[in-house]
Structure formats: structure tokens, C-alpha cells
């Protein structure tokens, strides 16, 4: 089945630790995105990548880092510099170009930092 | 002013009712429009794209009004399973290139 997977579904970490969230897609999509959603709020863009080995900062990139070494994978690292890391993290992908711009989401990772 | 604005609701409607949501956008260079549905504690899922001529998918109808810069979603014959948050999404041309903006969503509760 084609789709986007994120792991783990729930993640608990202590303050001061870096943590990496996984995102994999087998849709052959060029573009991938990371969003953060806080309770009762909309999605905020952290980072996005339109092509392998290239990525750009979104609206709230501070305290986060990404890599795009493979088309299928776009992992997000939440560093200890991120002041309020507890949130619901969503990864998405889209075909891009003539394939269309609608985004398809993975099931998300709920990160709790205490 | 927010780039994409939605009435947060909640809209509480009985089963079988017709309900409509509007969403306004501020960037006149907006080019692509979508409605997503998000269930509680789940990921958003694409409901439908919105075309200039308007489009319908079963009980759902989406319309675009470029002159007034808003899109709408009409749900007919509401079902209990329609209860969710509906997100308006706009793709527009900005100074740094294209960007996709998600509205904060409108909550719908359909009651028996």
C-alpha cells in the first residue's frame, strides 16, 4: 500500500535531549513537509523540502533540524534548543509540479517532553 | 489579518441538516484551494480540491469566489460521521515562492 508512515506514534523525552522523528513515503512524491500542531490550533510549517538534498525553513524552524538524503525519507530532529517541544508533529508529502499540490499526511507523532 | 480565516465554530447541527462553512483568504495571488477534514487526534485528510467552476462530491459541494476571496464547503444531509474539524487550505504566491497556508479549522458536531 502506498502512503506515508511516521514513527513512533507516541514519544516521551526528558528536557535537554534531542529526539528524531521518522517520516517515510512510498508515493514517489518530490515534496515533503513537517508541521507542528498545538491543541486547538492550526498547522504551522517547520521545514519543507522540494527535492532531495535541499530543504528550506518554514515559519517556526528554530530549534529543529532536518535532512533529505533520500526521496523517501525526511526525518525531523527536535533539539534541546526548542523551547516548547511538546506537540503533535505531522509529516506530509505532495507530488509537486504537474502532479498537483495537495498534501497527504502521515498519522503523526505525539511528542511529550518533561 | 490572518492569511486564511475560518469561523472556529463549533457548528452543532442535527442529523440530516445542511451546513455551510466559509473561508476567506487575503492573498489575491492564491492559486489552489482545498478542504481537509481532521478527526480528533488524527491527521488531516484531503476532502476535496476546490475548482473555479465549483465542484461536487456526493453530499459535499465546494465553491470558489475569487472576486470576494472566499471558498465555501456545503454539506448536505449531515451524518454523525461528518463530525470533525474542517480545514481550509490555500496555496498562494509569496515573495519567497509558493506557500501552502492552513486555516485553523471549523469544528462541526452532528447530533442524532
* DSSP 8-state class, residue B81: G
Query: Where would I find the beta strands (DSSP E) of chain B?
Result: 4-6, 11-14, 19-25, 30-38, 44-50, 55-57, 60-65, 70-75, 84-94, 97-102, 106-111
Q: Compute the distance between CA of residue B48 and CA of residue B96 in angstroms, rounded to an integer.
A: 27
Spell out which residues of chain B touch residue A101, defining contact as CB-CB under 8 Å: 32, 91, 98, 100
Residue A56: the pLDDT is 93
Query: What band does A1 get if pLDDT is binned at 50, 70 and 90?
Result: low
Query: Grid coordinates representing A56?
Result: 528550506
For A102, the closest of B49, B87, B105 (CB atoms) is B49
Q: Report pLDDT digits (tens) over A39-78.
A: 878 899 999 999 999 999 999 999 999 999 999 999 999 9
* Euclidean distance between the first and the last CA atom of chain A, given in angstroms as a whole number: 36
Whether pLDDT at A89 is above 90: yes
Q: Report pLDDT digits (tens) over B32-74.
A: 999 999 999 999 999 999 988 889 999 999 999 999 999 999 9
Contact A104, A24 (CB under 8 A): no
Whether pLDDT at B1 is above 90: no
- Chain A's closest residue to B9, CA to CA, is A40
Contact A47, A60 (CB under 8 A): no
Spell out which residues of chain A touch residue B49, defining contact as CB-CB under 8 Å: 102
Whether pLDDT at B96 is above 80: no
- Residue A71 region by backbone torsions, left for phi larger than 0, else alpha for psi between -120 and 50, else beta: alpha
Per DSSP bridges, beta strands B4-6 and A4-7 are unpaired
Taking CB atoms and an 8 Å limit, are A108 and B100 in contact across chains? no
Taking CB atoms and an 8 Å limit, are A101 and B102 in contact across chains? no
Amino acid at each position: 500500500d502506498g502512503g506515508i508512515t511516521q514513527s513512533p506514534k507516541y514519544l516521551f523525552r526528558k528536557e535537554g535531549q534531542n529526539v528524531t522523528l521518522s517520516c517515510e513515503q512510498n508515493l514517489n512524491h518530490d515534496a515533503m513537509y513537517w508541521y507542528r500542531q498545538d491543541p486547538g490550533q492550526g498547522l504551522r510549517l517547520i521545514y519543507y523540502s522540494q527535492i532531495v538534498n535541499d530543504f528550506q525553513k518554514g515559519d517556526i524552524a528554530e530549534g529543529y533540524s532536518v535532512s533529505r538524503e533520500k526521496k523517501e525519507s525526511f526525518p525531523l530532529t527536535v533539539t534541546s534548543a526548542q523551547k516548547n517541544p511538546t506537540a503533535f508533529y505531522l509529516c506530509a508529502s505532495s507530488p509537486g509540479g504537474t502532479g498537483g499540490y495537495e498534501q497527504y499526511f502521515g498519522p503523526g507523532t505525539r511528542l511529550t517532553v518533561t | 489579518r490572518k492569511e486564511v480565516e475560518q469561523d472556529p465554530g463549533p457548528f452543532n447541527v442535527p442529523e440530516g441538516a445542511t451546513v455551510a462553512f466559509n473561508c476567506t483568504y487575503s492573498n489575491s495571488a492564491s492559486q489552489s484551494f482545498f478542504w481537509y477534514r481532521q478527526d480528533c487526534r488524527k491527521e488531516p485528510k484531503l476532502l476535496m480540491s476546490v475548482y473555479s467552476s465549483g465542484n461536487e462530491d456526493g453530499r459535499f459541494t465546494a465553491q470558489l469566489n475569487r472576486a470576494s476571496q472566499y471558498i465555501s464547503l456545503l454539506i448536505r444531509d449531515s451524518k454523525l460521521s461528518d463530525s470533525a474539524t474542517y480545514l481550509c487550505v490555500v496555496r498562494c504566491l509569496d515573495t519567497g515562492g509558493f506557500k501552502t497556508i492552513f486555516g485553523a479549522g471549523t469544528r462541526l458536531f452532528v447530533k442524532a
